[in-house]
Structure 1
Amino acid sequence: METGRSGPPRTAPAPPPGSSTRPEAGGLDALAITTLRGVGPRVAERLDRLGIRTVQDLLFHLPLRYEDRTRVVPIGSLRIGASALVEGEVELTELGRGRRR
């Protein structure tokens, strides 16, 4: 199907040098969390409960600790009180019935 135009497709002109559509890094504390795609009033309300109101708040919302879940520890090497990831295979299960009401 022809459009009646010839030549390459038109594109938007480039912005002038020195201008940007991105916020400066120093302005992230003033940029509301609702400016992010996918963050509407409902999500913003949930984030507000966590104290996240700006994009900067979101960037600095870090986990309390990191748990390495890539290292599997053999069961024989477990230590009391230590957190570890182990693998196992369930060979048998038995389901008990609860009492009828």
Structure 2
Amino acid sequence: MFPLQKYNADYDLSARQGADTLAFMSLLEEKLLPVLVHTFWIDTKNYVEVTRKWYAEAMPFPLNFFLPGRMQRQYMERLQLLSGEHRPEDEEELEKELY
């Protein structure tokens, strides 16, 4: 009837390999994601010089003035949720803790 279609890269993995893949993805989300969020959205110098500029150039006229700031606030909230109540207020301490 229809040929066997493989919809994702994990199709041929064994149960153990699938579990290893999920564990690795979880590790990346837990350890790497907060660092990336901090690097792109929280680090003031990088946000002003790189991230906001990229997004403002890619967005149409009225949106480029307020959406990057809104996105930064959302990512700040997300980082606070990821790091919990023990998030340091000093940016240098937060960076040391994340790295």
What TM-score bracket applies, with the shorter chain setting the length? under 0.3
Higher helix fraction (1 or 2): 2
Higher RCO (CA < 8 A, seq sep 6+)? 2
